[in-house]
Amino acid sequence: NSIWVSTDHDEIEKVAKQFGAQVHRRSPEVSQDSSTSLEAIKEFLNHHHEVDIVGNIQATSPCLHPSDLIKVADLIQKEGFDSVFSVVRRHQFRWSEVKKGENKMTEPQNLNPAKRYRRQDWPGELYENGSFYFAKRHLIEKGYLQGGKMAYYEMRAEHSVDIDIDIDWPIAEQRVLSFGYFGKEPLKEVKLLVCSVDGCLTNGRIYVTEDQKEMVSYDYRDIVGIDLLKKRGIQIRLISERDCSKTLSAMRLGCIAKVSATNKLQVLEDWQKDMGLSWKEVAYLGNEESDVECLKKVGMSGVPADACAVAQKAAGYICKSKGGCGAVREFVEHIFLLLEKVNSARKQ
């Protein structure tokens, strides 16, 4: 009935509202490192007496699909369950732990070694995957997320992604692009990347010699990234608010460029129309306020790590690399991941 984000962070509140969610400001008491989701939900219910069912969706499970949530809501609203939680089937043999110094042997927990299954012939076991917990109000007020008439909802293994430690991030990024939910509109293959020169391809610094010649620096990894795009048949065009034609000529990138661009969005629209592309087929890498409208328009948008705040808010992807320090190459890799998603969808 309503979507809420529970947080004590100003920036998260802004982003949540930007995407149409309502915000519940957590109190300091339930915003500690040791605070549990249940404590935050109980506090929320104290302020919202109209709520009788809560679906707690974990932000650390980014492959959740709307179709799963609709089915779970039906289990509670139409089939009378008091709580429903997500599980995934795993085929893992468990053994008892033997602590260091103990004179014990390990014991099998869910298998008979004398009649060992091939794992593909074994039905496996159900494990909570942490994607969501749905429960009626009366259970939560008693301090439970699971109880009463309970049901589990088995999710597909490829949708069961849990970000718990740092190493989970790159795995999750790959899974999301392969199996994540991208809305009802089919994905389009990127055919054009437009990149802002100053602050993206370069670090934005301009060095002036005594004879008033300008010099800039760039990262060779970014040049390799541009070459990789070209080999995949994707066009790259460059755009700049200042006249940097001599610099671009010296870099020998072989890309169409528009310098002294006073209206970047107009230039982008002209290129998009001339090439006969939909906006879903255009990617844009920018870093300044002048790039914001372009970032909002395209199908795939990105900014370097040191982009200005308004550009970061408008972008779909924020690079870990700074401008002129590999951000272009990183965004190119991100585009390649999307292309893998498109190709996977076509095969299906």
Q: How far apart are CA 133 and CA 348, in angstroms?
A: 30
Q: How far apart are CA 251 and CA 41, in angstroms?
A: 56
Is 329 among the catalytic positions? Answer: no
Torsion angle (degrees, nearest 10) of CA 172, 178, 181, 185: 150
**By three-state DSSP, how is residue 273 classified?**
helix
Q: How far apart are CA 57 and CA 64, in angstroms?
A: 9
Kind plus residue range of the DSSP H or E element containing 40: helix 37-47
At 299, list the tokens: 């199908």
Q: Mention every residue, 6+ apart, whose C-beta is less than 8 A from residue 227.
A: none
Query: Residue 302 in contact with residue 225, Cβ under 8 Å?
Result: no
Q: Mention every residue, 6+ apart, whose C-beta is less than 8 A from residue 242.
A: 198, 259, 260
Sheet holding 125-136, edge to edge: 53-57, 125-136, 83-90, 150-154
CA 249 to chain CA mean position, Å:
36
Q: Mention every residue, 6+ apart, whose C-beta is less than 8 A from residue 154.
A: 86, 87, 88, 89, 126
Nearest to 285 by CA among 329, 255, 244, 245: 329
Query: Residue 38 in contact with residue 145, Cβ under 8 Å?
Result: yes
Which residue in the list 25, 26, 89, 116 is annotated as catalytic? 116
Q: Give just the sign of the alpha carbon dihedral 221, 227, 231, 236.
A: positive
Active site residues: 116
